[in-house]
Structure 1
Amino acid sequence: MRYEDLPAPRTGILLTHFLTVADVARSRHFYSEVLGGEVVLAENPCIVKLANAWLIMNPGGGPTPDKPEVTLQTPDDPGRASSFLNIRVADIAACHREWSAKGAEFLTPPIDRKAELRCYMRDPDGYLIEVGQATGMLEGVLADPPATPQ
């Protein structure tokens, strides 16, 4: 491990994302071997640098003194999400082919959404990951607004 690779800014702030995982080794493999991240720290916690961001992964568990009423757990319903990772790529077709060949499971192939090409996949714990490539938005074409709840 090289300490300079850790997500520890000398000034200002740096954003990381924490994932509660069921199996650290399995998640570490997915984010490093399938998506091409760099393992910075293998365990306790696992830290993987993916492009210009860091993912911190540890098993779930009950409350701790600094979060006294919070239990961490992996997603329990794959049909519902309150947040997701968003990976922006230069060539979505190439990423879709490469990551699929390495075992990534996409919900659909990339779909043209006018402002971008976009598809979603899941990690081993069921976390939703959006993969997108800017297209129309680079020329001022925006996506349709979200549907209004009925």
Structure 2
Amino acid sequence: MAHFIVSDDVERSRRFYTEVLGGRVVFSGPGGLTYVSLSNSWIIINVGGGPTDDKPTVTLATPEDPDRVSSFLNIRVKDIATVYAEWSARGAHFLTPPKQHQTEIRCYLRDPDGHLIEVGQTTDTTGDWAPEHWPSSAATGP
């Protein structure tokens, strides 16, 4: 699975996802289309645009109001304190430091276009949230 984000400046977003979050460019194509490998997923970055024949009423645009969100990237890490310190040193601006919640420690940041990103570390080492209980990377059908 990959996460597609619309960017007003694909090169700026590419730098953020590679230089700040540590991803790696795996494809760069016409019009700026860029795929960044980040952990076990891909971030697809491209400019917005108007409707197409297969999405005739849909316009792709960056968030108008970054405080109103309908989806966000969720990154799970083993050591949130280290990730917070490293990414902050590379220029990431978090909304708050990591906060302890019932079964996780988490914090949020935004990419240069305002897309929200959650970074979290599980604190439930025995339940379904423990990484060793997560499904394999092989997709299971419906």
Q: TM-score, normalised by structure 2?
A: 0.85
Match of 1:74 among 42, 51, 62: 62
Match of 1:52 among 15, 32, 40: 40
Instruction: Tell me the percent identity.
Output: 61
- 1:55-100 CA deviation, whole Å, 9 max, x = no partner? 1111001111121111000001011101100000010000000000
Looking at structure 2, the residues matched to 38 and 25 of structure 1 have their Cα atoms a distance apart, in angstroms, of: 13
**Which residues of structure 2 form unaligned runs of 5+?**
130-142
Amino acid at match of 1:70: V
What's the CA shift for 1:114? 2.4
What's the CA shift for 1:115? 0.4
Q: Please state if 1:87 is matched with 2:75.
A: yes
Over 4 Å off, 4+ runs = none
**1:105 partner SS:** coil
Looking at structure 2, the residues matched to 54 and 30 of structure 1 have their Cα atoms a distance apart, in angstroms, of: 14
Q: Please state if 1:134 is matched with 2:125.
A: no
> Larger Rg: 1 or 2?
1
- Aligned-pair Cα RMSD in Å: 1.5
* Count of aligned positions: 127
**Which residues of structure 1 form unaligned runs of 5+?**
1-14, 143-150
**1:47 partner SS:** strand
What's the CA shift for 1:41? 1.4
Looking at structure 2, the residues matched to 97 and 84 of structure 1 have their Cα atoms a distance apart, in angstroms, of: 21
